[in-house]
Structure 1
């Protein structure tokens, strides 16, 4: 084996090692009934995403705003909604504000390791992240639960997930 071949083999082994050891934090949305990943995206600390839906009792829009912390955990930052009603606490977080017809619960700072939503055609669950809008009610069958979670995977695994 000549020097060039040895160098190429060492380079390829090193590249494979790097691709398998560099951890990439990702956000995953999974259809639990189908055991199918419906969204994967790389995340960084302070990234935010929002879940929007129509509340079944008040028939009014609701939003929950989440962020990613330094350890790649999902944190509930705030909630906004149009009216108090069944099942709504009178306060959450460190601050409550009313602005432009919305009631805001701010600075909730709650770790959400198991974030699951039952997706319905009525509630029209929609996911917003960076410049992406996912109409979840069009992506999974009615009444299917989805799970939203983060994990760290290798760069090679991330490239695989992105091509699913």
Structure 2
């Protein structure tokens, strides 16, 4: 089941944080870095965020989280994480499908590390295409992918 998460609630922010930490530690190892910016987010940062969070629940367990920004028909996937116990169950794909179908957008954008081949394949499977490569100040080369719809 997918539901919008009230991330301003400290308990829910802590659950989101737990999924982020478990998933992003694995992503940091995949990328080969000890300095992975998403790992520095705190539960309070999540609670204070102006983004929208949706969670995939398996029973009572928060198994995956997608964080988005939506404004003026621009949909940005800010983060997508799945708890390691729930890897390879199609949860990330279900969360992507959910937001792509729930919002009326003209452009959807997502960024990931260039070396994160599994994430790139997943986004491409859902219709995203590469449009930019860049290296932010933290030094991890990134890839931006986009879906553009004609209106």
Give the TM-score, by structure 2 length: 0.24
Higher strand share: 1
Q: Considering Cα pairs closer than 8 Å and 6+ residues apart, tell me whether 1 or 2 has the greater RCO.
A: 1
Q: Is the radius of gyration larger for structure 1 or structure 2?
A: 1
